[in-house]
Structure 1
Amino acid sequence: MKRVHYIHNYLLNPQHPVTVNLIGAGGTGSQVLTNLARLDVTLRALNHPGLFVTVYDPDIVTEANIGRQLFGWSDIGLNKAQCLVTRINNFFGNDWTAIPDLYPVCPKDVRKNNLANITITCTDNVKSRMNLWKVLKAIQESDYTNHGTPIYWLDFGNSQSSGQVVLGTVPRKIKQPESHLYETVSSLKVVTRLVRYSKVKDNDSGPSCSLAEALEKQDLFINSTLAQLGCNLLWKMFRHGMIEHQGLYLNLATMKVNPVSV
């Protein structure tokens, strides 16, 4: 029997826009933000309230970012999050928010406005993922769901020419309807439980300070390809209300994509 995960009903029938925290606005994050804007427009056309996105990134745009990330020469010196969100808001008429800082790393530092229904990480180090999971799993579960209830965590990670996208559930279980056609799955492993990060070195996962050096560590189209595939998973969640896969592994060198079943 096919295994599926039915999406939390709040995301499908909310009274307000679904809140999204995008952590990291670099190579992958800049691409993901553009895709989120397109997803928002499409959802609104389908009579859904759409998305409200908050972007976190303390970094500024440098010359090395131009070409591999969605920045131009006139953006040099600007904060990445503020630069991208301003551009998206002007282009699509949104009122999304940019926070030119790191996402809180300790549960005691997290405020209500730091929480979102969907958290998306596009960072280039392991520690940030471990810290985020400490924050998310410390949130007390409640029967009441609103715009500040963490429900899903979508993580993007990559090396030079390969990467993965993993969607996990923050609550221990998400209520599933009875089904005679499918085996329903109420919990999806988050990336820190699916990937053995204890064997990953942080200095292997980050970009360099020049474009030429950066391309030695992250190929030109790995970020944009991963962003498209990962955001397609989000689209399936909203469009169909159920998913058969919670992520994927991508290898651009061999041109292979392997899905991760729920």
Structure 2
Amino acid sequence: MSRVKQKVHFVDNELLNPTNPITVNLIGAGGTGSKVLTALVEMNHSLLALGHAGLHVRLWDDDTISEANLGRQRFAQSELGLHKSVALINRANRWAGTRWRAETIKYGLECINDDCNHVSGTLTISCVDTVHARFEIAEILRKVVGSGAYNNRPKYWLDFGNGLNTGQVLLSTVGEIVQPKSEQFDTVATLPFVTDEFGELLRQSERLDDTPSCSVADALQTQDLYINSALAQMGISLLWSLLRQGMTAHRGLFLNLGDFRAQPIAFR
């Protein structure tokens, strides 16, 4: 009787042994994105201590800080009116001595023009609020990876999404990642985009009212206080394990803080 092999994905070697820091496009600097950036600062510090080349992050967000963002997101009263991306990146650079970049424009198709390197990164992390934004990111990644550009060629997309007290993180490959031959594991070279696998579900769940919250109390009606930070920690833990172990048997997770349950997403 033959043994069923466990399905795993081996990480592209470019992330495990990079000559230069891994380029990361973090899209969205709100409730989840601001917490993800903090986790990436911690990760970068730890990677450097372990002899890895570390990370180079570009944070994209065209929004400015309002009263509704205080408390639940990583912003202070003194930062009101500043661009979210600028406030967060300045803070990260001062703390860690990095030279990460802030983009005060929307990460969209209009950014491509003739320069794919401007929007290209080895790793894309999306913390966006709308279904349209996810489909646009998917289109950009397909255009960039098909452009023939080698520098910062996209390899992975890590998408975060959440509601009031539930959320999910899903890892995708941008194209096929060559896998080593293995007698022990059934290797998986391609992980589908969230927009391909859950496209119809995303469209059905899209909120009809995108009106911004006017206060912290309003914001807490749509996203509970700790769902963003819990999701950020668990999602970046997946990325950390990828870089440390070089492989994964899970491509994401579903999280429900209402009943304190987390469900890993295994390969099919």
Displacement of 1:73: 0.7
Structure 2 residue aligned with 1:186: 189
How many angstroms apart in 2 are the aligned matches of 1:4 and 1:206?
A: 41
How many angstroms apart in 2 are the aligned matches of 1:206 and 1:25?
A: 18
Indicate the larger mover: 29-38 or 189-198: 189-198
**Residue identity matched to 1:122:** C
TM-score, normalised by the number of residues in structure 2: 0.92
How many angstroms apart in 2 are the aligned matches of 1:236 and 1:189?
A: 20
Displacement of 1:210: 1.3
> CA 1:84–1:10 in structure 2 vs 1: closer, same or farther (change >3 Å)?
same
2:123 aligned with 1:118, yes or no? yes
SS in 1 for 2:109: coil
Structure 2 residue aligned with 1:82: 86
How many angstroms apart in 2 are the aligned matches of 1:25 and 1:47?
A: 29
Is residue 159–residue 204 contact of structure 1 (8 Å, CA) maintained in 2? no
2:138 aligned with 1:133, yes or no? yes
CA RMSD in angstroms comes to 1.7
1:31 to 30, 35, 56: 35
Matches within 5 A, 1:41-56: 41-56=45-60
How many angstroms apart in 2 are the aligned matches of 1:107 and 1:191?
A: 22
> CA 1:25–1:108 in structure 2 vs 1: closer, same or farther (change >3 Å)?
closer
**Residue identity matched to 1:82:** V
How many angstroms apart in 1 are the aligned matches of 2:57 and 2:253?
A: 24
How many angstroms apart in 2 are the aligned matches of 1:43 and 1:82?
A: 24
Q: Give 5+ residue unaligned stretches, structure 1.
A: none
Q: Give 5+ residue unaligned stretches, structure 2.
A: none
- After superposition, the C-alpha distances for 1:166-206 in whole angstroms (9 at most, x for unaligned) are 010011x1110011111100011121123222212233678
**Residue identity matched to 1:180:** E
Structure 2 residue aligned with 1:202: 207
2:238 aligned with 1:233, yes or no? yes
How many angstroms apart in 1 are the aligned matches of 2:210 and 2:224?
A: 12
- After superposition, the C-alpha distances for 1:1-22 in whole angstroms (9 at most, x for unaligned) are 1110000111111110000000
Structure 2 residue aligned with 1:10: 14
- Sequence identity percentage: 44
SS in 1 for 2:172: strand
SS in 2 for 1:220: coil
How many angstroms apart in 2 are the aligned matches of 1:207 and 1:236?
A: 35
Structure 2 residue aligned with 1:158: 162
**Residue identity matched to 2:173:** T
2:226 to 215, 221, 225: 221
How many angstroms apart in 1 are the aligned matches of 2:209 and 2:232?
A: 20
Structure 2 residue aligned with 1:66: 70
Displacement of 1:212: 0.5
**Residue identity matched to 1:136:** L
Displacement of 1:104: 2.2
Structure 1 residue aligned with 2:259: 254
Displacement of 1:64: 1.0
